[in-house]
Amino acid sequence: MRNVNIGIDLGGTLIKTALVEEDGNICELKTLEAKSGRSMDCVLRDIEAVVHKFCADKTYKVRGIGIAFPGIVDVENNRVLSKYVKYPGASQTNFEDWAQRNWRLPIAIENDARAALLGEWQYGSGRGSDNLLMITLGTGVGSAVLIEGKLLRGKNFLAGNLGGHMSIDYHGIQCNCGNIGCVESLASTWALKDLLEKREDWTKSALNREKSVDYESVFRCAKAGDKVAVEIRDNSIKAWGIGVVNLIHAYDPDKIIIGGGIMKSKDEILPGIEKIIEKHSWIPVGSLPVVVADKKETAGILGTNYILNNERKNGV
């Protein structure tokens, strides 16, 4: 019988649930669609079916459940603090009771960007460095920081976690968080529709004929020469780059890891961000590697596995 943990990554688009061995080997992975607006209770009921199936397999001995959540998390009490719109009711959910009632298993919850950083640090592109900055580009913009081998969390669990909500344009538009000119309000998947519809030339763009507008279509149409797509692409890279420079000045990492679904266009994004770092940051030119996440599909799951096997085992 093999000892495993169950890792759950509650993404903005997909929910991934996996069986993970202590060394990070993923034995099984199941994916569900993250349907917008459904309550946390409904989502957990869908996840329960997968977890029940995993626990029923006598090949494995399940030791705990880890959840990577897209919001602010109180890791000491396994509570979600932010009212994330994709998972309404999460802040009122007793996750420990859910895990105990169904399977009598311990649970660990962490912010998804922090969990992804741990996964990359232990098993991916962050190996060999104990001072890391991670940026995740997807539905929103997440960030996490590792300093001397320890996650930065802070008194209110905000430290290093709000790179997407740094204000980089105080004349800018209001973000969904209420702040003005956040990185996310200028460059994130959730903001694309509003950004495009405010443009007078929007109807003439090839993007207007797309079934759904996301960064895949933005980069594809930009490559084909669409003027609107080119401007959206370039403005987004600039916003991400400026946000990264602010984070570099705050945390002075050895390496920057960039992950998330948008990084399918890494060949355009990475050079753009690197140029902005070179031009605007105070660090020596060429001294800070900027790399793509190696475990971008499973980093969050791997990170919760590390927490269960190390932090919670050691009482951290």
Q: pLDDT tens-digit profile of 260-281?
A: 889 999 999 999 999 999 999 9
Are 135 and 279 contained in the same domain? Answer: yes
Exposed/middle/buried for residue 132 (C-beta within 10 Å: 0-12, 13-18, 19+): buried
Are 138 and 98 contained in the same domain? Answer: no
Are 81 and 175 contained in the same domain? Answer: no
Residue of 278, 190, 243, 267 whose CA lies nearest to 12: 190
Are 174 and 242 contained in the same domain? Answer: yes
Are 261 and 162 contained in the same domain? Answer: yes
Instruction: Looking at the chain, list the stretches that DSSP marks H as alpha helix, in order from N- to C-terminal side.
Output: 40-56, 95-103, 112-123, 183-186, 189-197, 215-223, 227-251, 266-280, 299-306
Host domain of residue 178: 128-292
Are 79 and 190 contained in the same domain? Answer: no
From the CA atom positions of the chain, what is the Rg in Å?
20
For residue range 10-52, list pLDDT tens digits in order.
988 899 999 999 999 999 999 999 887 889 999 999 999 999 9
- pLDDT of 314 over the 60 cut: no
Exposed/middle/buried for residue 81 (C-beta within 10 Å: 0-12, 13-18, 19+): middle
Any idea what the CATH number is for the domain that residue 221 is in?
A: 3.30.420.40
Task: For residue 64, tell me if it sits in a domain.
Answer: yes
Are 146 and 253 contained in the same domain? Answer: yes
For residue range 135-159, list pLDDT tens digits in order.
999 889 999 999 999 999 999 999 9
Are 163 and 287 contained in the same domain? Answer: yes
Are 306 and 242 contained in the same domain? Answer: no
Task: For residue 100, tell me if it sits in a domain.
Answer: yes
**Residue 312: band (very low, low, confident or very high) from pLDDT cuts 50, 70, 90:** low
CA-to-CA distance for 87 and 157, rounded, in angstroms? 19
For residue range 213-270, list pLDDT tens digits in order.
999 999 999 999 999 999 999 999 999 999 999 999 999 999 999 998 899 999 999 9
Are 157 and 263 contained in the same domain? Answer: yes
Are 167 and 72 contained in the same domain? Answer: no
Chain-centre distance of CA 187, in angstroms? Answer: 15
Task: For residue 244, tell me if it sits in a domain.
Answer: yes
Are 136 and 243 contained in the same domain? Answer: yes
Q: What is the widest separation between alpha-carbon atoms in the chain?
A: 62
Q: Which residues pair with 80 in a beta bridge?
A: 73
Q: How many domains in the chain?
A: 2
CA-to-CA distance for 125 and 229, rounded, in angstroms? 30
Residue 86: count of CB within 10 angstroms of its CB: 21
Of how many residues is the chain composed?
A: 316
Q: At residue 64, what is the residue type?
A: G
